[in-house]
Amino acid sequence: MAPPSTPDKFPSLYVLNYSLEPDMSSPNHRDHFDRMARIHVGKDSKQKSFEIHKGILCFYAGYFQRALNGSFVEAKKGEVTLATESPHTFDMFQYWLYTRRFLPDTGGQDTRQVHWTDLWVFGDAHEVPLLQNAVANQLVKRFADTWKFPTQYVGVVYAHTTANSKLRRLVIDLIGKTSSAESHLQPKHYNLYPQEALIDLLGITWRRERVRMTREDVRSMNVCDYHVHEDGVTCTAAVVVP
């Protein structure tokens, strides 16, 4: 079963931080809270191990559905190693898995934005569309609140995503559709923005007749346009930014 991409889908017996009543009549109502999986993240002295309910992990993430089921050694042992991932990112992922909330921010603004990108990229690599969509909602909310994007963030996004990525489109639309072309003609941007980002920005800002988005426009934009969904699926009604 494909992992969920809309917020109306919950694992069975979902009682954590939500007032939803589990469907106790279902014979499978405990399926998502049965065995624990051990996930080893990072390498050498920086490796950290996490214990997570296998059903929860498999419900949200297509990668773990495959790795922890079937005939793989990982499935038999109930263990998966993610040597190239960051334990910090996985920590944020684990917190979100159980709460659908994000860990409180730490560090400066640039650091926080980079962590959002890390989480989105982690979701992309491990097929967790609902996490990617939650990050997109959060980015729009933050942008509407602060009305700025750290320039360093653009480079990080472009370094970790492909040309058709929804995250790229979201970031470049937020920056390009709310700013003037002149504001990007600063020498400091020449090195900070990757060439692809400058070309994408140009594609938005060169039109003379365009109307720049206001903060209110951003607050009311349909973030679902930037979500990762299966073909034909959208978030029902307008997406409510948390």
Write out the H or E segment, with its range, that includes residue 58.
helix 54-60
- Which of 86, 57, 97, 9 has the alpha carbon at shortest distance from 67? 57
Region of 11-19, 58-66, 179-187, 234-242 interacting with Zn ion (CB under 5 A)? 234-242
Minimum distance, C-beta of residue 169 to Zn ion, in the bound complex (Å): 14
Burial 66-93 (b: 16+ CB within 10 A, else e): ebbeeeeebbeeeebbbeebbbbbbebb
Region of 17-25, 76-84, 171-179, 216-224 interacting with Zn ion (CB under 5 A)? 216-224
Contact call for residue 140 and Zn ion (CB under 5 A): no
Write out the H or E segment, with its range, that includes residue 79.
strand 79-82
Region of 80-88, 116-124, 211-219, 224-232 interacting with Zn ion (CB under 5 A)? 224-232
- Between residues 67 and 119, which has the closer beta carbon with respect to Zn ion? 119
Binds Zn ion by CB under 5 A, chosen from 41, 224, 226, 228: 224
Contact call for residue 115 and Zn ion (CB under 5 A): no
Contact call for residue 227 and Zn ion (CB under 5 A): yes
Tokens of 97: 């898995």
| Count of residues interacting with Zn ion (CB under 5 A) | 3
Compute the distance between CA of residue 65 and CA of residue 116 in angstroms, rounded to an integer. 24
- Between residues 171 and 224, which has the closer beta carbon with respect to Zn ion? 224
Region of 120-128, 142-150, 192-200, 218-226 interacting with Zn ion (CB under 5 A)? 218-226
Using a 10 angstrom Cβ sphere, with 0-12 exposed, 13-18 middle and 19 or more buried, the burial of residue 123 is: buried
> Contact at 8 Å (CB) between 36 and 87?
no
In DSSP terms, which residues pair with 40 in a beta bridge? 49, 81
> Contact at 8 Å (CB) between 227 and 136?
yes
Region of 59-67, 71-79, 120-128, 227-235 interacting with Zn ion (CB under 5 A)? 227-235
- Between residues 24 and 237, which has the closer beta carbon with respect to Zn ion? 237
- Between residues 6 and 12, which has the closer beta carbon with respect to Zn ion? 6
Minimum distance, C-beta of residue 133 to Zn ion, in the bound complex (Å): 6
Using a 10 angstrom Cβ sphere, with 0-12 exposed, 13-18 middle and 19 or more buried, the burial of residue 192 is: middle
| Residues that bind Zn ion in the complex, under the rule CB under 5 A | 224, 227, 235
